[in-house]
Amino acid sequence: MRNGALQGAAWTAAKCIYGMYADEEEARNIAALDGEKDDPGEHDEADELVEVAEEALPPMAAGVPLESIPTNGAAGDGTSGHANPFDPLGLGKATMDLWKAMLANPQGLLAGQMEFAKSMLELSGRSLGASGRGEPLIGPAPDDRRFTHPAWTQNPAFDAIKQGYLLATKAVLDSIEGADTDAETKARVSFFAKQYCDMLSPTNFAFLNPAVIEETLRTGGENLRRGVKNALEDIRENRGRPALVDKKAFTVGQNVATTPGNVVYRNDVLELIEYTPTTETVYERPLVIVPPWINKYYILDLQPANSIIKFAVDSGIRTYVVSWRNPDASMADFTWQQYLKHGPLTANRIASAITRSPDVNVIGYCIGGTLTAEMLAYLAQSEEVLVNAVTFFAALTDFEEAGDLRAFLGPEALSTIERKMDEKGVLDSSEMADTFNMLRANDLIWNVAVNRYLLGKDAPAFDLLYWNSDATRLPRAMHSYYLRNMYVENNLVKPGALKFKDVAIDLRRVKNDVYAVATIDDHIAPWKSVYKMTQLFSGETQFRLGHSGHIAGIINSPASGKGNYWRAASNPPTADEWLASAQKVDGSWWPDWMRWLSERSGERVAAPASPGSKHFKPKAPAPGTYVLEKA
């Protein structure tokens, strides 16, 4: 056995033999493990005992601000990284590079134009009745809900408008895809070209949208009057953005985030919530959930029927969750390393101390999973045995193919982001929300605007959209490090490229049992990129692929009776090979995960009679205070 493994075994034995998880002794040892200390923040008695860990896609991922797309002025040179105020995303240069590639192959460009002209000519003939309507030349994608009104299919004029728009959009995107230039340039230009095409959809114009025309005739124009009222309200109360949700319909702790529990620890970065057991006995090994800090934790606890936190508690798991603080300018210099040290390392140690378990199980969701993976690599080379089994929800460790968010991460865009963070000390939540909404612009921007301003509808009372609107800020130092080291340089998968406490990070050293869940339609953490962790870690890894996207595929409780997932007996080298061998299973993956987790949670013991412990006493009822802070 190697020396590190011997030290780890000795450490675990010492905790078991001498009862070091009797709170005070454990807390003092935690302080010893941390080494150097940062500047003290707000401390109470528990903080003085612990002196713990110091030290963020989606939607919960990169959190890149949406800037104005260039309207005039010269593009930046794309190499210096300095932001051009007229082209903060560097899109001008990318577009010029694409045009050069197109013009270098005029035959291909002409062929595309001729194909488009031929399709439009045929469509015109059909619309005028010269050749009959027949089968449509093109139709919306299966997930495109813009053209669901019957008139888009049954009325020849509206059908022609729809097909003409879809053919034009296809021609634009096909011409970009066919250009002989690098994949990243094509992806960036294609993404923003698609945004322009979405904006110009006939559904966004009152006189071209049959649903708006129908409603206007039915109400005598009352819908348009209400739309003006809604627009003025959004200007006053929502910074001019169309309101996704009726925020007045929800209160955190009253009708969302209601699972009973208590805050048992607080530091400058997090509150640790311990949930009240609902069973007479519980598993001896606790579960610590590390959610993303780009949104708030209660996506995992929206309602009792779809709360994975309640599901775990009702299954006999002693459950803890990290509730991240919403940072302000005073935290501008908090680093990624401080988030790791103050965050999951601290939370796991406190949960271990309270439950007197030598180690814990962990869930890492999205960016919380990325941070957890780095923690595991650090622990693998230290003498501390802290984590047993790990679950990852839609978490990236390899960022080489990180999806549409890369469109916002050229050199100029990064310069713009860092300039904004230098001004405020944080990345503002509204800018992050704009970015994530653009990833699903038809659903989260244009459809909302049509409903609010053209149809005159009130914003819906929908818990998921309320959570989505309850965004957070990100500290300057941490976020700059995250974007550059993960999205730009992909350093987490490079052995030794990153360090924590002078320990080189190498994911190949991680030998924990892992249960990894991705979702098939995820636009923030693409499932094939998530799958790559199965080839990085050295322990036993179970991979599951859920239906739907980044949120709906994870928050899919058995009670819903919906959805499906895929599972396979082994993890071949590529995601495509895995899917080819996978079995499709109806329903939620939660019961399958709980069987896996319970097998790794130890024996059943009597549930604790009271929350916390002698030195980690309850500070506030769940959901705590940090989650209530607004951006």
DSSP state of 348: H
HSE, side-chain direction, 13 A CA sphere, residue 476:
17
User: What is the 3 state secondary structure string of 33-102?
Assistant: HHCCCCCCCCCCHHHHHHCCCCCCCCCCCCCCCCCCCCCCCCCCCCCCCCCECCECCCHHHHHHHHHHHH
User: Distance (Å, rounded) from C-alpha 496 to C-alpha 335?
Assistant: 19
The 10 Å CB-count burial string (b at 16+, else e) for 400-424 is: eebbbbbbbbbbbbbbbbbebbeee
Structure tokens at 421: 């963070």
User: Distance (Å, rounded) from C-alpha 308 to C-alpha 302?
Assistant: 9
According to DSSP, the residues that pair with 427 across neighbouring strands are 474
User: Distance (Å, rounded) from C-alpha 67 to C-alpha 195?
Assistant: 13
CA 597 to chain centre: 23
Task: For 109-166, give the DSSP string.
Answer: HHHHHHHHHHHHHHHHHHHTTSS---S-S----TT--TT-STHHHHSHHHHHHHHHHH
The secondary structure element, H or E, covering residue 432 is helix 429-439
User: Distance (Å, rounded) from C-alpha 181 to C-alpha 187?
Assistant: 10
SS3 at position 553: coil
Distances from the Cα of 535 to the Cα of 555, 566, 572, 580, 603, angstroms: 26, 18, 8, 17, 31
Is 366 among the residues known to form the active site?
yes
Task: For 555-612, give the DSSP string.
Answer: S--GGG---EEEE-SS--SSHHHHHHHPEEEES-SHHHHHHHHHTTS--EEEPPSSSS
Q: Which of the residues 166, 294, 366, 379 is marked catalytic?
A: 366
Among 557, 511, 516, 556, smallest CA distance to 538 is for 511
DSSP state of 389: E
According to DSSP, the residues that pair with 584 across neighbouring strands are 566
Residues labelled catalytic: 366
